């Protein structure tokens, strides 16, 4: 992070859902890391609130343990000073009286520490509360900015479908201005997702090729080797399309496909992403089965260990039709991308954890060197978002020896080789930006609504049409085989960075 930009204003950070998993694993460790790096202001307090009745002392102790367990930074020297800035107050999320108590508690901390009125409200709660909490805060005047800025950070999902997202939007905008609302999409906080912008727009050599004349298709894969773990209850009412595609993967598509922004101003970047979303070719209801493949993982054995199927996971209904895998084909109807298919694939319990954008370039118009070993005709630029962040260029080289045998070779850059500087986590980056009031890496209402609009035909067909198949796939494989048929050109396939699970289960091949 750029320390020269480290001016942040005094404020109180309020976390709703402070006894939850996200607070423990990500939010508080990220805030501690900012504190250690002197990126928090001199006067700062964190007020946690949730239904649990905890004292300040208990909350501090629990957060200390989380900071040590889910370490963001290898420096424990500031931990006592940091947890001294933590406070807790219980709340009944829809009880007016408790918001009055919250306001009093905030006033007390403000006066005691001379912090002033700047406040961030982070909603790390079940989505059903995203409308209620901001409304209640406004009812006790905690949205007013006369004594300092007030910002609302909302986790995904923003709505459950287009209709509920529109309702939530109207509900929020009654009391809060768009500039006060920060919709978090933690993929935008990932260093290598931001690097998409830098790779594209700081190099003269990629951009001329980045269009329909040279690109055959674009693939965006986000594979996870884990199952739904303890989140079966949430996931079963969400599914991979809502959980990963509507937000994270469409945002990555936006950054991959956007036009150069006029500047690095938040509005300039977000306008270009929005234009991509507005250019997504609507999916026709009758085409859903052809362009959207859904799958659900089945019980299997991975590395000798039995793994439950999705329907056996805790919190999941035994007859669940929720998808844990999605593969989607779509087009962006604009001058740059007209006719270029985009393929998105994501799933749980796949062979490895990897997220990458692959630009598949068109093959040469006439291939002189055909030989059996050179099976993949095009060049590929692989932008690895995680893990082992970096960039890989695949191209053909002469195999040493007689004749003109060609083989694929890789030119490979690993982000870790750039410097010893630690890469901040996505949450650290986004929390820091929210404190500075920089909304560049947060999703704007229109983007979220366009994304829902685009996916509505798929959501409706999957919900209402029993004829649209849900394919099973054994846990630990790359999803249903049918997903391969999405790719039009028979000579091209998805990139399989890892065919089988490696011994350590991490990323196996570049």
The stretches of 84-190 forming alpha helices (DSSP H) are 96-113, 132-139, 162-175
Are the C-beta atoms of 294 and 323 separated by less than 8 Å?
Answer: yes
* Residue/partner pairs of 20-23 with CB below 8 Å, 24 or more apart: 20/50, 20/124, 20/125, 22/124, 22/155, 23/48, 23/66, 23/124
For 416-478, the DSSP string reads GGT-SPPPPPHHHHHHHHHHHT--TTSB-HHHHHHHHHHHHHHHHHHHH-TTS-EEEEETTS-
Q: How far is the CB of 413 from ligand BG6 (least distance, A)?
A: 21
Calpha distance 494→483 (Å, rounded): 9
Q: How far is the CB of 450 from ligand BG6 (least distance, A)?
A: 19
Calpha distance 97→250 (Å, rounded): 40
Which DSSP letter does residue 177 get? -
Q: How far is the CB of 224 from ligand BG6 (least distance, A)?
A: 5
Site for ligand BG6 in 146-185 (CB under 6 A): none
Question: Of 45 and 245, which has the nearer Cβ to ligand BG6?
Answer: 245
Q: How far is the CB of 341 from ligand BG6 (least distance, A)?
A: 24
Nearest residue (beta carbon) to ligand BG6: 243
Calpha distance 373→235 (Å, rounded): 43
Question: Of 243 and 356, which has the nearer Cβ to ligand BG6?
Answer: 243
Q: How far is the CB of 385 from ligand BG6 (least distance, A)?
A: 8
Calpha distance 293→470 (Å, rounded): 8
Calpha distance 277→446 (Å, rounded): 9
Q: Name beta bridge partners: 151.
A: 120
Site string for ligand BG6, 339-368 (x = CB under 6 A): ----------------x-------------
Burial class (CB in 10 A: 0-12, 13-18, 19+), 397: exposed
Task: Count other Cβ atoms within 10 Å, centred on residue 166.
Answer: 16
Q: How far is the CB of 338 from ligand BG6 (least distance, A)?
A: 31
Q: How far is the CB of 29 from ligand BG6 (least distance, A)?
A: 15
Question: Of 10 and 355, which has the nearer Cβ to ligand BG6?
Answer: 355
Reduced to 3 states (helix: H, G, I; strand: E, B; else coil), residue 197 is: helix
CA distances from 129 to 54, 93, 201 (A): 21, 8, 39
Q: Give the strand pairing for 86-90 and 380-386.
A: unpaired
SS3 of 67-129: the string is HHHCCCCCCCCCHHHHHCCEEEEECCCCCHHHHHHHHHHHHHHHHHHCCCCCEEEEECCCHHH
Q: How many residues bind ligand BG6 (CB under 6 A)?
A: 3
Question: Of 228 and 298, which has the nearer Cβ to ligand BG6?
Answer: 228
Calpha distance 294→322 (Å, rounded): 9
Question: Of 363 and 387, which has the nearer Cβ to ligand BG6?
Answer: 387
Residue from 392, 386, 409 nearest 190 by CA: 386
Q: How far is the CB of 226 from ligand BG6 (least distance, A)?
A: 7
Q: Which of 72, 219, 224, 450 binds ligand BG6 (CB under 6 A)?
A: 224
Q: How far is the CB of 239 from ligand BG6 (least distance, A)?
A: 10
Residue in the block written with tokens 């685009």: 454
428 part of the interface to ligand BG6, by CB under 6 A: no
Site for ligand BG6 in 270-299 (CB under 6 A): none
Instruction: List residues with catalytic annotation.
Output: 248
Question: Of 82 and 478, which has the nearer Cβ to ligand BG6?
Answer: 478
- Is it true that the peptide bond before 157 is cis, omega within 30 degrees of 0? yes
Calpha distance 392→394 (Å, rounded): 6
Calpha distance 215→302 (Å, rounded): 36
Question: Of 191 and 460, which has the nearer Cβ to ligand BG6?
Answer: 191
Calpha distance 271→45 (Å, rounded): 34
Site for ligand BG6 in 229-268 (CB under 6 A): 243
- Is it true that the peptide bond before 387 is cis, omega within 30 degrees of 0? yes
Are the C-beta atoms of 52 and 19 separated by less than 8 Å?
Answer: yes
Q: Which two tokens mark 118?
A: 């700047």
Q: How far is the CB of 355 from ligand BG6 (least distance, A)?
A: 6
Residues that bind ligand BG6 (CB under 6 A): 224, 243, 355
């Amino acid at each position: 992070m750029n320390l020269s930009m480290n001016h942040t204003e005094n404020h109180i950070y309020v976390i709703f859902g402070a006894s939850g998993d996200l607070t423990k694993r990500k939010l508080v460790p990220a805030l501690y890391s900012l504190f250690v790096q002197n990126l928090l202001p001199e006067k700062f307090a964190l007020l946690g609130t949730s239904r649990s009745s905890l004292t300040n002392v208990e909350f501090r102790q629990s957060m200390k343990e989380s900071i040590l367990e889910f370490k963001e930074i290898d420096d424990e020297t500031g931990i006592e000073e940091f947890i001294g800035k933590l406070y807790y107050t219980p709340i009944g999320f829809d009880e007016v009286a408790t918001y009055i108590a919250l306001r009093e508690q905030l006033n007390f901390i403000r006066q005691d520490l001379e912090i002033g009125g700047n406040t961030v409200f982070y909603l790390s709660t079940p989505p059903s509360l995203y409308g209620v909490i901001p409304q209640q805060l406004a009812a006790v005047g905690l949205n007013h900015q006369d004594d300092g800025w007030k910002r609302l950070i909302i986790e995904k999902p923003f709505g459950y479908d287009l209709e509920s997202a529109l309702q939530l939007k109207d509900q929020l905008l009654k009391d809060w201005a768009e500039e006060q609302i920060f919709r978090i999409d933690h993929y935008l906080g990932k260093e290598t997702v931001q690097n998409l912008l830098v790779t594209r727009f700081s190099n003269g050599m990629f951009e001329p090729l980045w269009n329909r004349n040279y690109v055959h298709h674009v693939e965006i894969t986000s594979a996870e080797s884990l199952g739904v773990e303890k989140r079966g209850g949430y996931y079963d009412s969400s599914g991979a399309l809502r959980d990963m595609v509507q937000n994270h993967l469409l945002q990555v598509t936006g950054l991959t496909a956007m036009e150069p922004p006029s500047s690095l101003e938040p509005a300039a970047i977000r306008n270009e992403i929005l234009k991509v979303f507005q250019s997504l070719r609507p999916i026709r209801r009758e085409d859903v089965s052809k362009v959207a493949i859904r799958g659900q993982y089945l019980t299997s054995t991975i590395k000798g260990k039995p793994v439950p199927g999705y329907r056996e996971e805790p919190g999941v209904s035994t007859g669940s039709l929720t998808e844990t895998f999605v593969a989607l084909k779509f087009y962006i109807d604009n001058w740059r991308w007209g006719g270029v298919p985009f393929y998105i694939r994501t799933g749980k319990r796949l062979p490895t954890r990897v997220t990458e954008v692959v630009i598949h370039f068109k093959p040469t118009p006439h291939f002189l060197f055909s030989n059996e070993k050179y099976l993949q005709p095009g060049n590929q630029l692989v932008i690895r978002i995680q893990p082992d962040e970096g960039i890989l260029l695949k191209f053909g080289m002469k195999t040493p020896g007689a004749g003109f045998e060609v083989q694929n070779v890789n030119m490979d850059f690993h982000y870790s080789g750039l410097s010893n500087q630690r890469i901040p986590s996505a949450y650290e980056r986004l929390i820091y930006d929210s404190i500075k009031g920089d909304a560049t890496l947060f999703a704007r209402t229109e983007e979220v609504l366009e994304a829902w609009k685009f996916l509505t035909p798929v959501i409706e067909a999957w919900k209402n049409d029993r004829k649209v198949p849900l394919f099973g796939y054994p846990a630990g494989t790359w999803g249903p085989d049918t997903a391969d048929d999405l790719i039009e050109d028979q000579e091209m396939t998805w990139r399989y960075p890892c065919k089988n699970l490696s011994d350590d289960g991490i990323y196996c091949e570049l």
